[in-house]
Structure 1
Amino acid sequence: MRGANESRVSEFLLLGLSKEPQQQHLLSVLFLTMYLATVLGNLLILLAIGVDSRLHVPMYFFLGNLSFTDICFSSTTVPKMLANHILGTQTISFSGCLTQMYFVFMFVDMDNFLLAVMAYDRFVAICHPLRYSTKMTQQLCALLVAGSWAIANLNVLLHTLLMAQLSFCADSAIPHYFCDVTPLLKLSCSDTHLNEMMILTEGSLIMIAPFICILASYVLITCAVLRVPSTKGRWKAFSTCGSHLAVVSLFYGTIIAVYFNPLSSHSSEKDTAATVMYTVVTPMLNPFIYSLRNRDLKRALGKVVDRKTFSV
């Protein structure tokens, strides 16, 4: 009986975050503000790294890539949601939906890999300071970033192709503000066990392996720092990792809550709240977290602001 209602839909309806018009207006203003803050904050990070030669080191090279990724990440979801609200439409084409899903999760994977690479960079800097310049060469840094892009694209391409093979029921309403995997799987009239299995196995490996690398790096960093005799030295070493740990906790906490449990245990309200955290809030907070705890970056940001002020 189920197969009789299957059809190849040409478009989906993105229901957004609320059905109430007043709430929609308020949420649109809030999301626009957060999006502008995300773009401005991350652009300032990129400008600061670009203009200050003292920041042309691996740590800030990776941070610059993270800022670029976060700008692209937010730009795959928020502008479409705002455009739908302004134009009074909720539709997105089938191909557009898969394209949006592809880029959202490619940038999720990139954030994941970059956070792991940044943890490794901190490990080498703290545990092997005398060999840091010989280990973290420009070639290695470029290779780590390029490899991250390649793996992220291949991983997301697999899941997108699997999603493209599914058939969808007449009900094409997605209770979300972007094309997320979980709502799409719930709408499918096909057998989604292969998709779910790939998310929980291959997808989990892609997310968990870097997370384990981060944990291992910080265990070794903690052991090295505890051997430092000076309390001031310990605090200085830990403070260089505090920003990164805050971002890691926020990012992985929401990702694990949304994707790595059975499909039957998901609720649209909880999933939407968690995805807002990692698609909008985390990219917005990253520049503040890194700049507020980093003297070199604050000094470089001050130079950028001064240049803009004097040029005006």
Structure 2
Amino acid sequence: MGWENLTSVSEFFLLGLSEQPEQQEVLFGLFFSMYLVTVAGNLLIILAIIADAQLHTPMYFFLANLSLADACFVSTTVPKMLANIWIQNQVISYAGCLSQLYFFMLFVMLEAFLLAVMAYDRYVAICQPLHYIMVMSPGLCVLLVSASWITNALHSLIHTLLMNNLNFCADHEIPHFFCDINPLLSLSCTDPFINELVIFTVGGLAGLVCVLSLIISYTYIFSTILKIPSTQGKRKAFSTCSSHLSVVSLFFGTSFCVYFSPPSTRSAWKGTVASVMYTVVTPMLNPFIYSLRNRDIKYSLRKLIWDRKIHSP
């Protein structure tokens, strides 16, 4: 069977978060505000890192890429949902749905990879501080980020091509606000065994690598912190990774609720709420978590905003 589109489906219907007409304006206002805050917050983090030479370090290089991934991540799903609410039309084309699936899977896995890379960076900084500059060289940083982008671009392409190879039934309604892989598989008339096999093998392996990297890195980090004799030293060491640990807990905690909850407790509504948490809320909170807990970022943001005020006409 070739990779050509075997389905006669030309469009799907995204049912969204609510079908109640009186709730549409509230949802539009809420998610439009969250989207603006998310994009503006992440772009400010990127601009602050680019503008301040003191932030041209591996940790902030990875943070800039995470902020870029967050801005792209939320832009994959929320604008289409807002457009559907605004024009009161739930339709998304077949090509648009697969495109949304591709970019959604690219950025969700990219975020997981970048969080794992940032955990390794914190491990080297805390456990091997004397070798940090040598280990985390510019070449290695670029290689880690480039490998994350390329690997996840190919990973997402595999899932999208396999999805394109399925036939879909008469029911084209997706009980979600974007084209996620599980709701699409549930609409398939074709046996999705190959798709599910790739999800559990390739996708599972990629997720396992990220989780193991996080667990191993933080095991060494906490072990090193506990060996520090002074309380002030322990607090200072832990403060360098507390923001990252908060983001990791928020992202992986909510995503696990969507994809790894027992079938007996799984429901469309719970899955949608959990999806909102890690696709919209987490990217919105990340800039606040990093800026509020990081003096360097706060100083750079103040300097960036203050300089713009001074030079503005």
Tell whether the structures are fold-level matches, with TM greater than 0.5: yes
Query: What count of residue pairs does the alignment treat as equivalent?
Result: 307
User: Cα deviations across residues 49-73 of structure 1 (Å, max 9, x unaligned)?
Assistant: 0111100000000000000010000
User: Aligned letter for 1:57?
Assistant: T
2:285 equivalent in structure 1: 285
Whether contact under 8 Å (1:126, 1:224) holds in the other structure is yes
Asked whether 1:51 is paired with 2:51, we answer: yes
User: Cα deviations across residues 7-48 of structure 1 (Å, max 9, x unaligned)?
Assistant: 521100111110011212111110000000001100110111
* Distance across 1 between alignment mates of 2:93 and 2:130: 55
Structure 1 range deviating more: 186-195 or 39-48: 186-195
Whether contact under 8 Å (1:204, 1:260) holds in the other structure is no
2:3 equivalent in structure 1: none
* Distance across 2 between alignment mates of 1:167 and 1:274: 28
Cα RMSD, aligned residues only: 1.4
* Distance across 2 between alignment mates of 1:111 and 1:56: 20
Whether contact under 8 Å (1:17, 1:24) holds in the other structure is no
Q: Specify the SS of the correspondent of 1:189.
A: coil
User: Aligned letter for 1:126?
Assistant: I
Q: Specify the SS of the correspondent of 2:92.
A: strand
Q: Specify the SS of the correspondent of 1:284.
A: helix
User: Aligned letter for 2:112?
Assistant: N
1:22 equivalent in structure 2: 22
| 1:21-170 pair list within 5 angstroms | 21-170=21-170
CA offset at residue 311 of structure 1?
Answer: 3.0
Unaligned runs of 5+ in 1: 1-5
User: Cα deviations across residues 247-272 of structure 1 (Å, max 9, x unaligned)?
Assistant: 10111112222123577864211111
Change (3 A) 1:282 1:202: same
User: Cα deviations across residues 154-197 of structure 1 (Å, max 9, x unaligned)?
Assistant: 11111111111111111101111110111111111111222222
1:244 equivalent in structure 2: 244
TM-score by length of 2: 0.95
User: Aligned letter for 2:58?
Assistant: P
* Distance across 1 between alignment mates of 2:106 and 2:114: 12
* Distance across 1 between alignment mates of 2:140 and 2:247: 24
Q: Specify the SS of the correspondent of 2:307.
A: helix
Change (3 A) 1:54 1:240: same
User: Aligned letter for 1:200?
Assistant: F
Change (3 A) 1:7 1:148: closer
1:299 equivalent in structure 2: 299
1:274 equivalent in structure 2: 274
User: Aligned letter for 1:298?
Assistant: K
1:222 equivalent in structure 2: 222
CA offset at residue 84 of structure 1?
Answer: 1.2
* Distance across 2 between alignment mates of 1:131 and 1:284: 34
Change (3 A) 1:262 1:205: farther
* Distance across 2 between alignment mates of 1:7 and 1:163: 10
User: Aligned letter for 2:33?
Assistant: T
TM-score by length of 1: 0.95
Change (3 A) 1:77 1:130: same
State, as a whole percentage, how many aligned pairs show the same letter. Answer: 58
User: Aligned letter for 1:223?
Assistant: S
CA offset at residue 201 of structure 1?
Answer: 2.4
Whether contact under 8 Å (1:102, 1:156) holds in the other structure is yes
Structure 1 range deviating more: 203-212 or 57-66: 203-212
Asked whether 1:201 is paired with 2:201, we answer: yes
* Distance across 2 between alignment mates of 1:177 and 1:119: 31
User: Aligned letter for 2:182?
Assistant: T
